């Protein structure tokens, strides 16, 4: 079972499951989860090979979807699901393979397609950090800055650092090996007929109009919205706007 943080109380509304992206963790969503927990139970799992969840050689979307299904089954059997990036792809496969578990679906800045921009350079950057010289998070940030220009990403990656044990809470070897699966999207059949929102950053190019026929082929009720001024990390760049979009789409 995935390590899952919970906040809020169960009630008449299905729980909200928030699924993080590559190199993330459930804790990354702590602020939004706490704010959304005013009216429902919110679940933020660590995906396999991330955070405090188990390590595995396989890291593909059917396996990740099955992991998420177990979390939902352990918390009542149905949930509203929000997934960002890698977590969005896992959430799509969950909805397509186990639609009875998903009440409403929000996909944040990703489409059911294969992408060509590799994320392997960030694994290489994290591997270059000399963890024996890290006694506080800023030590790792300083080392990452030599290989990663974006200060937001520097801070993001170091959230997955176990400073006490001088180790990454990421299975970097498995993620590197499975990168083709992470960038791709499995050949899945079927449709999810429930309410679905594809929420994108207006400055991101991850979800283009060219992808809409493929999206609607799997998600016929799909609606589309953009958050102005946000890129791929829309929930971190515009957290209040992201929260407002969730509340508008998810009835209580």
Point out the catalytic residue in the list 160, 232, 235, 245.
Answer: 232
Residue 170 · residue 162 · CB < 8 Å? no
DSSP-assigned states of every residue in 91-143: HHHHHHH-GGGEEEEEEES--SS------HHHHHHHHTS-GGG-SSHHHHHHH
List helix spans (H) across the chain.
30-36, 61-73, 86-97, 120-127, 137-144, 151-158, 172-177, 179-183, 212-218, 234-237, 239-249
Question: Is 167 tagged catalytic?
Answer: no
Clarify whether 162 is annotated catalytic: no
Contact 216, 149 (CB under 8 A): no
Catalytic residue from among 173, 177, 193, 205: 173
CB 47 within 8 A of CB 109: no
Which residues touch 91 (CB under 8 Å, ≥6 apart)? 19, 65, 68, 81, 82, 83, 102, 105, 107
Q: Which residue bears the tokens 């991101």?
A: 204
Among residues 25, 53, 85, 160, which one is catalytic? 85
Strand partners, 50: 170
Region for 76 from its dihedrals, namely left if φ exceeds 0, alpha if ψ lies in -120 to 50, beta otherwise: left
CA angle in degrees (0–180, nearest 5) for 147-121-179: 160
Catalytic residue at 232?
Answer: yes
Q: Is the separation of the CB atoms in 206 and 109 below 8 Å?
A: yes
Annotated catalytic residues are 85, 173, 232
């Amino acid at each position: 079972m995935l390590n899952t943080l919970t906040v809020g109380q169960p009630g008449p509304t299905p729980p909200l499951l928030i699924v993080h992206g590559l190199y993330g963790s459930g804790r990354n969503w702590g602020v939004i989860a706490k704010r959304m927990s005013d009216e429902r139970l919110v679940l933020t799992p660590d995906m396999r090979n991330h955070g405090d969840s188990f390590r595995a050689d396989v890291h593909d979307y059917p396996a990740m979807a099955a992991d998420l299904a177990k979390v939902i089954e352990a918390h009542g059997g149905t949930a509203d699901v929000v997934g960002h990036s890698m977590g969005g792809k896992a959430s799509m496969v969950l909805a397509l393979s186990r639609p009875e578990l998903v009440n409403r679906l929000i996909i944040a800045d990703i489409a059911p397609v294969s992408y060509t921009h590799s994320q392997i350079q960030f694994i290489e950057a994290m591997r270059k950090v000399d963890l024996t010289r890290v006694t506080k998070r800023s030590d790792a940030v300083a080392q990452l800055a030599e290989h990663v220009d974006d200060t937001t990403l520097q801070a993001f990656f170091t959230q997955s650092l176990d400073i006490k044990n001088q180790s990454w809470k990421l299975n970097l070897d498995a993620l590197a090996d499975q990168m083709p699966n992470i960038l791709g999207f499995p050949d899945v059949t079927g449709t999810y007929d429930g309410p679905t929102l594809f929420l994108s950053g207006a400055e991101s190019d991850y979800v283009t109009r060219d992808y809409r026929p493929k999206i609607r082929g799997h998600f016929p009720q799909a609606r589309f919205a953009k958050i102005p001024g946000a890129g791929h990390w829309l929930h971190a760049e515009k957290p209040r706007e992201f929260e407002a979009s969730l509340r508008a789409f998810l009835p209580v």
